[in-house]
Amino acid sequence: MSLQAATNDVYLDIQKRLYQEARLLSAEQYDDWVLMLSDKLYYRMDMPQKRLREDKVSDRAPAKTPIFNDNLDSLKIRIGRFKTGFVWSENPMNSSRHIVSNVEVFNTSKTGQFKVYSIVELHRSRLDSERKRFTVGREDIWNKSAEGYQLLERIMTLDDSVVLDSNMNFFL
Amino acid sequence: MKQELDDLIDFKTGRQKRLIYSDAHIYKLEMEKIFGRSWLFLAHDCQLEKPGDFVRTFMGEDEVLVVRQTDNSVKAFLNTCTHRGNRLCKADHGNSKTFVCNYHGWSFGFDGELTSVPLEDAAYKNNLDKSKFGMVEVEQIANYKGLIFATFDKEAPSLEDSLGEMKWYMDIWLDAMPEGTELVGTAMKVELPVNWKLAIENVSGDGYHLGWAHAGAMTVTAESGLAGLSVGNSEVDNAAAVSVAGMNGNTVLAALDGKSGYAFYNEYQKIWDYLDENRETAVERLGPFRGEKMWGSQINMTIFPNLQFLPGLNWFRVYHPKGPGKFEMWTWAMVDKRMTDEMKEIILNNVSRTFGPAGMFDNDDGDNLAAATQQSSGWRSSQMDLYANMALGVEHSREEMPGVVSEGLVCEQNQRYVYRRWLEMMKADSWADIPFYNSLEEARATEGKS
């Protein structure tokens, strides 16, 4: 099925929303971020594996292993952990920048629901000279609601088969 | 050299010289004396279902391929071409009939034999004895109840002798149910700038850090009613838990309540139902003490030098050192095979949520251990000492269980025994010089005898 591009108006509205979201995530304004999330949120990232191209994933291949597999409730628990003030590794605050690009927006079969592809690159400046960088492809479903566009589903593809930071105390 | 090594560790006072976390020469010696001759975990049986199934893993810094054979045995090979040394396989796991080198096209069967060489007639003039250039096999391989281990040392005592009385504890997970265990999903891999021993000691015996280092995760799981057993709950107090060591370097940290293992689960009631339904089987197979008090409890198990698994929390982890200040940590979810798919899914999600790369508990440990590594690397700091001297002199025996026992999860006995084993192996010229001990009596009789 070929995808039908959304109108330019919708594209711009959703792009604005993604930029706003990136700014909130970089600033750790998670209470504001939660307002952008649907009550029925599905938020998922799997652990990548290096497989041979000819080795087709079959039924008996191991199940996918999640790094994030969250709904709104479990995401709020993760956020609650940061809000306790007891997550010592985030004090002083690590500087981070979420850079969003390659945004594409398509209509779906449901009115007011849009499929959105994007790439997010996270730069983390940690202690002294430590720099960390994550690149992640995202496939989202955004839902137009009275509160503006809300994130219903986000499937993230991490590019590393070995995670190269001592924690993932962030959201993408 | 032996004298210098003796200065690094003092078992009696629980002292370690920080140099052991940063020094390149010491690290190189560890690769030879410890990783070069210990039984190292390679794979779980369930990862190698059919002939040709393989996983790529590490023994120390040596890369190995672990492959299921046609006769159902398992072989482990160095993942390197015998011609000019290229890596043979880059996939994490999969199924393959052959391993073909990308450099010149030498092709090896999954039994390790060199089967074809390009231009064999024309270039080698038929002078190449292919039978002498098969993939190099690891010296010994053995399976303990589903866990496959290997050692590079052909003189190493058997796996079962090495594990010693630790088997009694391992069986609480591996043998509680007749079908045994399996891994769910694939390895969650994280690279950390940490000396491998700091991670091992943390899980081997450090119940002390739980309430403080993990205060954020502990608070939020307790507040949100996730925990089932909240922090400070008397059901996981020191009186109802033990630290056990003195089993050839292997250690156990165990609650004795029979259900606290699932404390951080958000759907723990389902798991508790499972425990109720299967308690009788566990008691039949393990006896009343292990079946009632230990099966289902929060337990940390450490198999020296680099394997740790936590029944209850259900994670299973191996550490691959990558230099004095770096390792890769591979974590799986492990379950009883007889659990329903729904339960396996719950467990996989909980392992990921607590101890995966974005795990709410695991994400508290990395920076602490990285900093301890860095703070052992300075000119001055590397000459400093560290102490694991909590609860010195209280170790004893208990009739119900093997090994050297101290009460409680907050106790540094286990770390002292891990470093004692480290020193014994570092000093020994051969396995004949490495003492074996599985009780307080034996541990005392062999103290300082390496």
Q: Whose CA is closest to B5, among B39, B29, B38?
A: B29
Residues in chain B with CB shorter than 8 Å from the CB of A94 are none
In this predicted model, what pLDDT tens digit does every residue of A120-165 receive, in sequence order? 999 999 999 999 999 999 999 999 999 899 999 999 999 999 999 9
> Tokens 């899980």 identify what position?
B203
- Say yes or no to pLDDT of B3 above 80: no
In this predicted model, what pLDDT tens digit does every residue of B351-403 receive, in sequence order? 999 999 999 999 999 999 999 999 999 999 999 999 999 999 999 999 999 99
Give the pLDDT score at B225.
58
Average pLDDT of the segment spanning B46-72: 97
List Cβ neighbours of B93 (8 Å cut-off, separation of 6 or more). A49, A51, A62, B47, B53, B54, B55, B56, B186
Q: Is residue A2 part of a domain?
A: no
> Confidence class of residue B231 from pLDDT cuts 50, 70 and 90?
very low
CB contact under 8 A, B91 and A50: yes
> Confidence class of residue B228 from pLDDT cuts 50, 70 and 90?
very low
A169 touches chain B (CB under 8 A): yes
Average pLDDT of the segment spanning A36-53: 94
List Cβ neighbours of A46 (8 Å cut-off, separation of 6 or more). A64, A65, A66, A67, A157, A158
A93 touches chain B (CB under 8 A): no
Q: Is residue A104 part of a domain?
A: yes
CB contact under 8 A, A67 and B353: no
Q: Which of B92, B266, B366 sits opposite A167 (nearest CB)?
A: B366
Average pLDDT of the segment spanning B45-52: 96
Using DSSP's 3-state secondary structure scheme, residue B301 falls into strand
Average pLDDT of the segment spanning A44-56: 88
Give the pLDDT score at B237.
55
Give the pLDDT score at B1.
66
Give the pLDDT score at A62.
54
Integer Cα distance of B83 and B133 in angstroms: 8
Integer Cα distance of A107 and A110 in angstroms: 8
Domains in chain B with CATH codes: 2-24+165-446 (3.90.380.10), 40-143 (2.102.10.10)
> Confidence class of residue B236 from pLDDT cuts 50, 70 and 90?
very low
Mean pLDDT is lowest, of B216-220, B315-319, B353-357, for B216-220
Mean pLDDT is lowest, of A12-26, A152-166, B202-216, for B202-216
Residue A95 lies in domain: 8-48+65-158
Give the pLDDT score at B126.
84
| Mean pLDDT of all residues belonging to chain B | 93
> Confidence class of residue A91 from pLDDT cuts 50, 70 and 90?
very high
Give the pLDDT score at B235.
43
How many angstroms separate the CA of residue A9 from the nearest CA in chain B? 36
Q: Is residue A138 part of a domain?
A: yes
| B104 has catalytic annotation | yes
Using DSSP's 3-state secondary structure scheme, residue B313 falls into coil
How many angstroms separate the CA of residue B188 from the nearest CA in chain A? 6
Per the residue annotation, which of B104, B153, B171, B237 is the catalytic one? B104
In this predicted model, what pLDDT tens digit does every residue of B325-357 receive, in sequence order? 999 999 999 999 999 999 999 999 999 999 999
Number of domains chain A contains: 1
Give the pLDDT score at B270.
86
> Confidence class of residue B234 from pLDDT cuts 50, 70 and 90?
very low
Per the residue annotation, which of B45, B62, B171, B209 is the catalytic one? B209
Q: Whose CA is closest to B264, among B389, B362, B144, B403?
A: B362
Per DSSP (E only), the strands in B304-389 are 307-310, 315-321, 327-336, 385-387
Identify the sign of the CA torsion B363, A78, A80, A140: positive
- Say yes or no to pLDDT of B226 above 60: no
Q: Is residue A56 part of a domain?
A: no
Using DSSP's 3-state secondary structure scheme, residue A94 falls into coil
Residues 43-72 of chain B whose Cβ lies under 8 A from any Cβ of chain A:
47, 49
Q: What is the CATH number of the domain that holds A102?
A: 3.10.450.50
Give the pLDDT score at B41.
98
| B209 has catalytic annotation | yes
CB B202 within 8 A of CB B369: yes
In this predicted model, what pLDDT tens digit does every residue of B96-138 receive, in sequence order? 999 999 999 999 999 999 999 999 999 999 899 999 999 999 9
- Say yes or no to pLDDT of B300 above 80: yes
- DSSP for A101-116 reads EEEEEEE-SSTTEEEE
> Tokens 């001990």 identify what position?
B437
CB contact under 8 A, B367 and A81: no
Give the pLDDT score at B335.
96
Give the pLDDT score at A39.
97
